[in-house]
């Protein structure tokens, strides 16, 4: 099978990619021993992050003239806002109702890494080309899919963790990643090496922030 440009991008950041898949947060979640306060901390920080990620998707839609890609980005935006963020809120509500935590999102401040990741997305949304935006967008859903696919192979007793894995390993999640990699491959056609390297750099930057986000979550913000 021929190596695609999306494959090249992943390989370019493979060291960080493997660190994400093998992070202590992921390993302990798979074994059912991840402390719930760490998962709750992650959920709250991600609840700050996702609105900015959704804005990146919306911004990308404004930077392409391809109607099919516009439709896909709109679908991706709706999925993020109406389904992913809803799933998060339901989990936060359930954890709170179980007296695991009584703080709401409004009572928790975003951590340094969350703010830096959001700032990066805001900058690329404003100043980046369409190819740069998609490159920065791809690692988030792609790494989540691979994490969830790994975790779906083990029996996880904790219902909250199991539901989280099921959401990110769903057929819809798989389809999203397939489509975003196809878009990356299309964008690379006819582009010069300098621009493709720029796309890889943005992909790598997003991978770095994804890794740091797990680090931050595992250490409860003490990174």
Q: Mean pLDDT, consecutive 10-residue segments, the chain of 223 residues?
A: 92 98 97 94 95 96 95 96 95 78 59 97 96 97 98 93 97 97 94 94 98 97 78
What is the rounded CA–CA span in Å between residue 178 and residue 185?
Answer: 11
Q: How far is CA 16 from CA 66, 80, 86, 124, in A?
A: 32, 24, 29, 21
Cα–Cα distance for residue pair 31/69, rounded to 1 Å: 39
Burial (Cβ within 10 Å: 0-12, 13-18, ≥19) of residue 117: buried
What confidence score (pLDDT) does residue 158 get? Answer: 92
| pTM of the complete model | 0.94
| pLDDT given at position 146 | 98
């Amino acid at each position: 099978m021929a190596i695609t440009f999306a494959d090249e991008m992943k390989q370019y950041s493979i060291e960080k990619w493997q660190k994400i898949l093998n992070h202590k947060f992921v390993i302990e979640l798979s074994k059912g021993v991840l402390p719930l306060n760490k998962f709750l901390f992650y959920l709250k920080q991600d609840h700050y992050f996702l609105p900015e990620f959704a804005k990146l998707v919306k911004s990308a839609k404004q930077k392409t003239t391809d109607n099919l890609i516009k439709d896909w980005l709109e679908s991706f935006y709706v999925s993020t806002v109406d389904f992913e963020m809803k799933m998060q809120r339901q989990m936060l509500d359930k954890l709170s109702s179980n007296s695991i935590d009584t703080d709401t999102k409004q009572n928790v401040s975003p951590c340094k890494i969350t703010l830096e990741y959001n700032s990066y997305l805001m900058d690329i949304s404003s100043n980046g080309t369409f190819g740069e935006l998609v490159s920065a967008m791809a690692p988030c859903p792609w790494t989540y899919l691979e994490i969830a696919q790994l975790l779906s192979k083990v029996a996880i007793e904790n219902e909250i963790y199991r539901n989280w894995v099921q959401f990110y390993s769903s057929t819809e999640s798989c389809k999203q990643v397939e489509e975003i990699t196809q878009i990356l491959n299309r964008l690379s056609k006819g582009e010069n090496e300098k621009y493709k390297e720029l796309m890889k750099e943005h992909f790598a930057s997003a991978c770095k922030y994804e890794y740091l986000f797990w680090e931050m979550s595992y250490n409860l913000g003490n990174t």
